[in-house]
């Protein structure tokens, strides 16, 4: 034990006194792991972060190079994840530079989502304002559980919800919203709110004891299962409503039949979920008609009104075209694109009839993960139903305390800052340019495919970002063959054979991509595959899992994709098809 007094542990020149206890020396030592509490010039943290970003950015290649970060080849089966079991906590600290280098190395082999050859499933690169705003929260960790711990940063959430409410056509003084952990998080919030409204607030004490139903289209996202499962309602309480096979949206007559039957049986409907842009087909359900049916078939006495939730994670941003002058067309979109934009906007704006809406910024908000905004039309009702008694260790120092009614306790300010910064930065015009530009590029691909006799676009009428297409052997007329496979049950063997071809081509493209293959001077495009884009005409109820249409998929979410990207896509798909056939897979 030392006789030295605590206040003398630190010598005047800021280093630990030789006689200070070990714990104090270590404590002084570990201060270097944190930013200084005072302003310093130059700013050490800023320099370290800037250096780290430069290092991770340097994993990108020169123009014309591949879209994978770092130097390949990479094993298409993935890194050796099982090796991770060997990890153990080291006895001592390692250097900061080494730790940062190790962090940067983890990005090797990942796709650069901003690259012109990258167009897999809905994965948008984040815009600079959103990344920077989110990163700022890493420095001072605002916790948007309540105003006390986040102060002005709460405004990012509140202002975002006001902007979204206005876009939705809701009163921003009555509506509200919460940033949460994803489209599935929004869905989960929506279902919990619905259960509480329909089964009453007591259900939060007693648990869910009633088999109320959730009505959602067949095309609705699979997170319908996550939500019914995790809320305790049970996946068996989902009723899948048939979809119109051409438009892929909810068949309103089927919906009415189901609602009438439930009404007669005295079974409550917890929620009807409208998908406002399905993942592949961009099918948009008719919200206004659903609202009319809810008015026509109220729940039996003793239960609250059925809840109308819109899963708009892929579709919400089309609201920004409400302000577009379609007559003047100031952005000069081509006629087909202009029509598609208008159709999307008209369909999406029906969300004004919803009770709640889920909006992903990490999809059509070009923000980093996770970044989603759950919007409710009447925040007062939501708060009345969902509030809990506060906690002994938290006081309501300010007037905004969302922690009283959120699922999460701590909430990072990162998603609110990222979403808010995007809204501020883009404005109507920014969203219009990005969204409309994607449709222009998508149109380019569809026209390109039309020129190829052995390729066919299978979703020419969809107005979303996705182009789904099939490739056939070079001596097959793709359009004729596909028409038969789509409609004729006696062609099911051929359908299945060619489905296998799509799958093998997709697998080959993936392998080549990760291995760093170059085809005729071109690096590989990164695309996806859909194994259930739509059923055949003779399998409308989807009872036969083999009578489904597979399609190769281009989801061109980034603004660097251009006509050349689409030329490369066609070229590499054909090369992969030839390889698959050469290897005797067909
Ligand atoms: C229509 C739809 N809803 C919900 C989700 C789930 O969203 P998240 O992945 O953000 O949880 C997705 C994801 O692609 C989706 O496409």
pLDDT in tens, 52-69: 999 999 999 999 999 999
Check pLDDT > 90 for residue 25: yes
Average pLDDT value over all residues in the chain: 95
What pLDDT digit, counting tens, does each position of 106-134 carry?
A: 999 999 999 999 999 889 999 999 999 99
Please tell me the predicted confidence (pLDDT) of residue 14. 81
Q: Where does 483-563 show beta strands of DSSP type E?
A: 518-519, 522-523, 528-535, 548-554
Q: Structural domain boundaries of the chain?
A: 54-121+465-586, 183-312
Contact 374, 353 (CB under 8 A): no
Q: Under a CB-based contact definition with an 8 Å cutoff, are residues 574 and 505 in contact?
A: no
| 479-507 mean pLDDT | 97
For residue 479, pLDDT over 70 is answered with yes
pLDDT category, 1, cuts 50, 70, 90? Answer: low
From CA 195, how far away is CA 8, in angstroms rounded?
61
Say if residue 221's pLDDT is above 70: yes
In the reported structure, the alpha carbon of residue 419 is separated from the centroid of ligand 1 by a whole-number distance in angstroms of 17
180 and 189 Cβ atoms separated by less than 8 Å? yes
Q: Tell which phi-psi region holds residue 555, choosing left (phi > 0), alpha (psi between -120 and 50) or beta.
A: beta
Q: Measured from the CB, is residue 224 less than 6 Å from ligand 1?
A: no
Categorize the per-residue pLDDT at 541 as very low, low, confident or very high, splitting at 50, 70 and 90. confident
Share of the chain above pLDDT 70, in %: 100
SS3 at position 372 = strand
pLDDT at 12: 81
Among positive and negative, which fits the CA dihedral 118, 485, 245, 504? Answer: negative
Q: What is the pTM of this model?
A: 0.95
Q: CA–CA distance from 537 to each of 66, 246, 483 (Å)?
A: 40, 9, 10
Give the closest residue (by CA) to ligand 1 atom 14: 279
CATH architecture for the domain at 183-312: 3-Layer(aba) Sandwich (3.40)
Query: How far, in Å, from the CA of 72 to the mean position of ligand 1?
Result: 31
Binned at pLDDT 50, 70 and 90, residue 585 comes out as: confident
**Binding site membership of 111 for ligand 1 (Cβ less than 6 Å):** no
- CB of 227 shorter than 6 A to ligand 1: no
Cα distance between residue 547 and residue 540, in whole Å: 9
Ligand 1 centroid–CA 183 distance in Å is 5
Average pLDDT over every residue of 288-292:
98
182 lines ligand 1 (CB under 6 A): yes
Q: In the predicted model, what is the mean pLDDT of residues 75-99? A: 95
> What does the DSSP 8-state code read for residue 422?
H
- What pLDDT score does 279 carry? 81
Residue 386: pLDDT over 90: yes
For residue range 395-411, list pLDDT tens digits in order: 889 999 999 999 999 99
Measure 224 CA to ligand 1 centroid, in angstroms.
10
Looking at 154-158, 395-399, 471-475, which range is the least confident one?
A: 395-399
pLDDT tens per residue, range 192-205: 999 999 999 999 99
pLDDT grade for 2, boundaries at 50, 70 and 90: low
Query: 3-state DSSP call for residue 238?
Result: strand
Atom 4 of ligand 1, nearest CA residue: 183
392 pLDDT more than 90: no
Q: Confirm or reject: Cβ of 216 under 6 Å from ligand 1.
A: no
Q: Among the atoms of ligand 1, which is closest to the Cα of residue 363?
A: 10
Looking at residues 3-20, what average pLDDT do you find? 88
């Amino acid at each position: 034990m030392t006789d030295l007094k605590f206040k003398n542990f630190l010598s005047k020149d800021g280093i630990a006194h030789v006689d200070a206890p070990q714990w104090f020396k270590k404590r002084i030592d570990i201060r270097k792991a944190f930013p200084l509490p005072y302003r310093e010039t130059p700013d050490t943290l800023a320099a370290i972060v800037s250096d780290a970003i430069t290092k991770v950015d340097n994993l990108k290649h020169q123009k014309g190079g591949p879209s994978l970060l770092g130097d390949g080849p990479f094993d298409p089966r993935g890194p050796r994840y099982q090796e991770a079991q060997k990890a153990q906590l080291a006895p001592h600290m390692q250097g900061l530079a080494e730790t940062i280098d190790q962090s940067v190395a983890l990005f090797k082999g990942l796709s650069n989502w901003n690259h012109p050859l990258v167009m897999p499933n809905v994965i948008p690169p984040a815009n600079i304002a959103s990344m920077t705003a989110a990163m700022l929260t890493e420095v001072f960790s605002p916790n948007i559980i309540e105003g006390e711990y986040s102060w002005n940063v709460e405004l990012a959430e509140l202002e975002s919800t006001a902007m979204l409410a206005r876009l939705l056509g809701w009163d921003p003084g009555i509506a509200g919203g919460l940033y949460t952990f994803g489209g599935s998080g929004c869905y989960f919030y929506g279902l919990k709110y619905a259960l509480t409204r329909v089964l009453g607030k007591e259900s939060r004490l007693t648990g869910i004891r009633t088999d109320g139903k959730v009505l959602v289209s067949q095309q609705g996202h699979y997170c319908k299962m996550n939500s019914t499962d995790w809320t305790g309602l049970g996946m068996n309480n989902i009723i899948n409503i048939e979809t119109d096979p051409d438009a892929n949206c909810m068949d309103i007559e089927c919906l009415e039949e189901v609602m009438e039957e439930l009404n007669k049986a005295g079974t409550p409907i917890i929620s009807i979920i409208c998908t406002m842009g399905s993942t592949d087909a961009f099918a948009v359900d008719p919200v206004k008609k659903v609202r009319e049916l809810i008015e026509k078939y109220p729940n039996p006495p003793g239960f609250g009104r059925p809840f109308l939730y819109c899963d708009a994670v892929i579709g919400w941003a089309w609201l920004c075209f409400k302000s577009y002058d379609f007559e003047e067309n100031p952005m000069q979109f081509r006629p087909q694109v202009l029509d598609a934009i208008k159709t999307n906007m008209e369909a999406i704006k029906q969300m004004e009839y919803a009770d709640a809406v889920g909006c992903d910024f990490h999809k059509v908000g070009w923000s980093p993960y996770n970044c989603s905004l759950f919007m409710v039309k009447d925040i007062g009702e939501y708060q009345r139903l969902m509030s809990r008694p506060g906690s002994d260790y938290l006081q309501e120092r300010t007037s905004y305390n969302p922690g009283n009614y959120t699922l999460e306790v701590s909430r990072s300010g990162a998603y609110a800052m990222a979403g808010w910064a995007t809204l501020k930065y883009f404005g109507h015009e920014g969203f219009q340019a990005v969204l409309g530009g994607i449709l222009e590029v998508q149109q380019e691909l569809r026209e390109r495919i039309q020129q190829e006799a052995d390729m066919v676009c299978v979703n020419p009428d969809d107005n979303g970002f996705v182009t789904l297409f099939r490739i056939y052997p070079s001596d097959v007329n793709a359009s004729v063959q596909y028409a038969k496979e789509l409609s004729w049950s006696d062609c099911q063997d051929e359908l299945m054979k060619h489905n296998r071809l799509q799958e093998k081509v997709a697998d080959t493209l993936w392998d080549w991509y990760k291995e760093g293959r170059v085809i005729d001077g071109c690096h590989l495009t990164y695309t996806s595959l859909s194994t259930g884009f739509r059923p055949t005409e003779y399998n409308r109820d989807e009872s036969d899992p083999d009578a489904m249409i597979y399609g190769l998929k281009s989801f061109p979410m980034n603004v660097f994709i251009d006509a050349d990207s689409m030329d490369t896509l066609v070229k590499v798909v054909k090369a992969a098809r030839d390889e698959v056939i050469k290897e005797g897979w067909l």
